[in-house]
């Protein structure tokens, strides 16, 4: 079988301020006709750059420094730009992550498909529109005639990704490169999009390159997997071999760091660093947090900034029914327990956590912490309440949650100086170092600024800050969503250790059921502001009662074994 795409010793360089950086080093890649090849790697592994080099759409600073790229016997590296524009879209096409941004925001989606069809002479002025609508139909967009006239901002993320797929497949190319096509989409949408891609490419006998950070996704959809690390290929093998018996250390590490059914927290870490598992934390019967009939409503339309609002009050349209982001939910967290709050975007889980955190005032309902009615205190004045120190939070994006102008020690010291009883700079510093040791942050990093630290290090700073005042309840808002899986494994273990050591309770907000299961005793599944199902993590994952939970679980791709 001759390869459709044959990449040999590809090297890509970027000119940066600190000199030339090799983003891709002597990479070999073969894609046979009809084959689906996954390129898997963590951020900075050069997986996307490889595909951009194949398409020759590297930005100005990047250039192919060596190697060869052959497509159906044609030398893509040496091809002229005119030849390349003929090949792009007709022979090889691409779909991208963040589909909404991948479409021209001010051109009707149908017209965008037409542009590609007409460019590659697949349609003339007479039949372009019909063909575009036919493509919309093929990617299973309901009411295609109507959607033809839609602008990207009028469509959902999943719908936009279908349009991008229609765009990519319109001219029946032989090879499709999908660059993180489902990142940022909800799991159920993710599955629908991937199934659609598979169905369409199979039907056309196309080859596919799937670029992803998610081993599970690669396992579920690929014939062959190429694992990349820091610009180099570390392992290439048939998908089932890679997952059954990963040869390279890095692949093994990646494999075990990926949460899947049956994996344990300690199992995520490489064998040599994993300590004995924590004994199950003693969950006392005492209720720490009690939430009753919590409701948060928002007005239908965002507050408009127009002057009309300011002067011509009442002249506006009739009041519509407010939107209920959180629709009367109740739950409890006991001392020493960790509770997972799971749902897709827009289900109200973040709004709930912000209200429990007392950063947002609920429309109605009660929140009590250890018997104290903290829901009655306004969010605005909660900062000066003695209860403030009892609930803390670890944020989703470690970069965003650190002030770029504060050093790590200043960030950790902030709660100590504001609410701690410590006197003197020496005592604060000593406590900072103690906390740094606790979260495994090297002491010499304490004087660094956020931009001088890695994602994992920043996450540790955020955790140290949250536990500085020995809070009773810590809210974890997708604390690992922005991290690579190997870092995620370490951070999850750290959180579990800290809980055992310090006896805190966790409210863990996440979209990923498998991650939640590892850390939480109980799980709540939310949808459209309401609780769909709750129970022990094991019960909910292994014997889900609600259809929605079942759908969620089945949509998560995971590596076999």
Partner 1 sequence: MSAIDASATPSPAVSEAPARPATGLSATLGHARYVVTENPVTGFAFALFAVILLAAILGPALAPYDPLASDTAAALQPPSAAHWFGTDQVGRDIFSRVLVATRLDLVIAVSSVALVFALGGFAGICAGFYGGWTDRLISRVSDTIMAFPLFVLAMGIVAALGNTVTNIVIATAIVNFPLYQRIARAEANVRRDAGFVQAARLTGNSEMRILLCQILPNIMPIMAVQMSLTMGYAILNAAGLSFIGLGVKPPTPEWGIMVAEGAGYIISGEWWIALFPGLALMISVFCFNLLGDGLRDIIDPQRRT
Partner 2 sequence: MLRATLKRLVTIVPTLIGVVVVTFLLTRVLPGDPAAYFAGPTADAASIEQIRKSLGLDQSLPQQFLRYLGDLARGDLGNALSTGQPVLKEIASRLPASAELTLSALALSILIAVPLGILAAVKEGSWIDHLCRVVTTAGVSLPVFFTGVLFVCIFYYRLGWAPAPVGRLDLYSVAPPHVTGFFLIDSLLAGDFDTFRATVAQLILPASTMALFALAPIARMTRASMLSVLSSEFIRTARASGLNSRTVILRYAFRNAMLPVVTTLGMVFSFLLGANVLVEKVFAWPGIGSFAVEALIQSDYAPVQGFVLAMALLYVALNLMIDLAYGVIDPRVRLEA
List of residues contacting partner 2 (CB under 8 A) = 55, 57, 59-60, 85-90, 93-94, 96, 98, 101-107, 115-116, 119-120, 151, 153-154, 164, 167-168, 170-171, 306-308, 310-312
Closest separation in Å from C-beta 185 to partner 2: 15
228 is in the binding site of which of partner 1, partner 2, none (Cβ under 5 to 8 A by kind)? none
Task: Tell me the C-alpha distance between 239 and 223, whole Å.
Answer: 5
DSSP 196-233: HHHHHHHHTT-EEEEEES-HHHHHHH-SEEEEEETTEE
Closer CB to partner 1, 148 or 395, in the complex: 395
Closest separation in Å from C-beta 275 to partner 1: 23
Closer CB to partner 1, 49 or 169, in the complex: 49
444 is in the binding site of which of partner 1, partner 2, none (Cβ under 5 to 8 A by kind)? partner 1
465 is in the binding site of which of partner 1, partner 2, none (Cβ under 5 to 8 A by kind)? partner 1
400 is in the binding site of which of partner 1, partner 2, none (Cβ under 5 to 8 A by kind)? partner 1
Residue 100 within binding range of partner 1, rule CB under 8 A: no
Task: Tell me the C-alpha distance between 161 and 180, whole Å.
Answer: 11
Residue 23 within binding range of partner 1, rule CB under 8 A: yes
Residue 293 within binding range of partner 1, rule CB under 8 A: no
Closer CB to partner 1, 107 or 380, in the complex: 380
User: Which residue of 29, 52, 220, 541 would you call a contact of partner 1, by CB under 8 A?
Assistant: 52
Pairing outcome for strands 232-238 and 74-75: unpaired
Q: Mapping DSSP to helix (H, G, I), strand (E, B) and coil, where does residue 481 land?
A: coil
Please give the C-alpha separations between residue 187 and each of 36, 109, 398, 510, 541, in angstroms, as whole numbers: 21, 24, 23, 12, 15
Residue 449 within binding range of partner 1, rule CB under 8 A: yes
The 10 Å Cβ neighbour count of residue 408 is: 27
The 10 Å Cβ neighbour count of residue 299 is: 11
Closer CB to partner 1, 225 or 441, in the complex: 441
Sheet of 323-334: strand order equals: 323-334, 287-298, 364-369, 372-373
Closer CB to partner 2, 103 or 227, in the complex: 103
**Residue 446 DSSP class:** T
* Chain-centroid distance, C-alpha 249: 25
Closest to 212 (Cα-Cα) out of 226, 231, 198: 226
Sheet of 530-536: strand order equals: 391-394, 473-477, 505-510, 338-342, 522-527, 530-536
Residues 329-388 that bind partner 1 (CB under 8 A): 357, 359, 380, 383-384, 388
539 is in the binding site of which of partner 2, partner 1, none (Cβ under 5 to 8 A by kind)? none
Closest to 391 (Cα-Cα) out of 416, 374, 413: 374
DSSP 66-81: EEEEEETTEETTT--H
- For binding to partner 1 (CB under 8 A), which residues are involved? 14, 16-18, 21-23, 43-49, 52, 58-59, 61-62, 230-231, 305, 307, 310, 357, 359, 380, 383-384, 388-389, 391-393, 395-397, 399-407, 411, 414-415, 418-419, 444-445, 447-449, 451-454, 457, 462, 465-466, 468-469
């Amino acid at each position: 079988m001759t390869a459709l795409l044959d990449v040999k010793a590809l090297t890509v360089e970027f000119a940066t301020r600190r000199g030339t950086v090799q983003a891709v080093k002597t990479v070999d890649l073969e894609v046979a006709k009809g084959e689906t090849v996954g390129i898997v790697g963590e951020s900075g592994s050069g997986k996307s750059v490889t595909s951009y080099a194949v398409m020759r759409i590297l930005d100005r600073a990047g250039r192919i420094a060596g190697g060869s790229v052959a497509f159906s016997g044609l030398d893509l590296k040496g091809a002229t730009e005119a030849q390349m524009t003929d090949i792009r879209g007709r022979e090889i096409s691409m779909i991208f992550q963040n589909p909404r941004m991948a479409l021209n925001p001010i051109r009707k989606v149908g017209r965008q498909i037409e542009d590609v069809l007409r460019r590659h002479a697949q349609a003339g002025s007479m039949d372009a529109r019909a063909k575009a609508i036919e493509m919309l139909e093929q990617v299973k967009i309901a009411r295609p005639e109507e959607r033809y006239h839609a602008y990207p901002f009028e469509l959902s993320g999943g719908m936009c990704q279908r349009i991008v797929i229609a765009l990519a497949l319109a001219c029946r190319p032989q090879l499709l490169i999908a660059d993180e096509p489902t990142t940022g989409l909800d799991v159920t949408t993710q599955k629908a999009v991937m199934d659609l891609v598979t169905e369409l490419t199979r039907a056309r006998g196309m080859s596919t390159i799937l670029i992803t950070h998610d081993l599970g996704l690669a396992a579920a959809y690929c014939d062959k997997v190429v694992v990349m690390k820091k610009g180099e290929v570390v392992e290439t093998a048939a998908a089932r071999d890679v997952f059954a018996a990963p040869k390279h250390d890095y692949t093994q590490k990646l494999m075990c760091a990926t949460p899947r059914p049956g994996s344990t927290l300690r199992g995520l870490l490489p064998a040599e660093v994993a300590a004995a598992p924590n004994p199950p934390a003693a969950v006392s019967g005492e209720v720490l947090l009690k939430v009753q009939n919590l409701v948060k409503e928002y007005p239908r339309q965002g507050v408009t900034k127009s002057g009309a609002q300011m002067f011509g009050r009442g002249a506006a349209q009739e009041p519509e029914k407010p939107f209920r982001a959180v629709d009367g939910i109740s739950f409890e967290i006991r001392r020493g327990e960790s509770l997972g709050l799971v749902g897709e975007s827009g289900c109200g889980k973040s709004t709930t956590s912000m209200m429990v955190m007392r950063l947002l005032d609920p429309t109605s309902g009660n929140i009590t912490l250890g018997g104290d009615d903290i829901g009655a205190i306004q969010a605005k004045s909660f900062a000066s309440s003695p209860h403030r120190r009892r609930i803390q939070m670890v944020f989703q994006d470690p970069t965003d949650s650190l002030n770029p102008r504060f050093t790590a020690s200043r960030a950790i010291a902030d709660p100590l100086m504001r609410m701690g009883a410590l006197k003197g700079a020496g005592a604060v510093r000593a406590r900072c170092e103690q906390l740094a040791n606790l979260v495994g942050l090297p002491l010499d990093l304490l004087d660094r600024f956020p931009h001088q630290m890695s994602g994992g290090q920043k996450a540790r700073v955020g955790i140290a800050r949250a536990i500085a005042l020995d809070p009773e309840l810590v809210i974890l808002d997708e604390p690992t969503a922005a991290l690579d899986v190997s870092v995620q494994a370490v951070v999850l273990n750290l959180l579990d250790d800290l809980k055992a050591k310090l006896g805190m309770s966790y409210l863990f907000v996440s979209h990923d059921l498998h991650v939640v299961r590892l850390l939480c005793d109980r799980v709540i599944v939310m949808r459209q502001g309401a609780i769909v199902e709750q129970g022990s993590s094991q019960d909910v994952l292994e014997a889900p009662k609600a259809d929605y939970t079942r759908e969620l679980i089945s949509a998560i791709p995971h590596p076999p074994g």
